[in-house]
Amino acid sequence: MATFTEAEFTTAGDFTTSIDWGDGSATTDDGATGPDNGPFIVSGDHTYTSSGDFTITVTVTDPDGNLASNTC
């Protein structure tokens, strides 16, 4: 789960999101949720098919096309 806030856009539906699970599988786009004016939450479920360390990257895009990414 990742959380974010944004001053210009105030509803979760304003944003597109994606989660790269770091294992070469397809990214998921479950969207953002949260109350008007945030904080907004991006979350998703994924099952890994092998053990190991994976870097997960969450990307949020606002309506102006600005990107923000967080890696964990």
Residue 72, pLDDT > 90, answer: no
Instruction: Let me know if 36 is exposed, middle or buried by CB neighbors in 10 A (0-12, 13-18, 19+).
Output: exposed
User: For the segment 13-62, what is each residue's pLDDT rounded down to a tens digit?
Assistant: 999 999 999 999 999 988 899 999 999 999 999 999 999 999 999 999 99
Query: What is the spatial distance between Cα 69 and Cα 60, in angstroms, rounded to a whole number?
Result: 6
CB atoms near residue 60 (< 10 Å): 19
Q: Tokens 């994606």 map to which residue?
A: 18
Question: Model's pTM, two decimal places?
Answer: 0.86
Q: Is the dihedral of CA 22, 25, 26, 31 positive or negative?
A: negative
Domain boundaries, the chain: 2-71
Name the token pair of 46.
Answer: 């994924």
Looking at per-residue pLDDT, the higher value among 67 and 18 belongs to 18
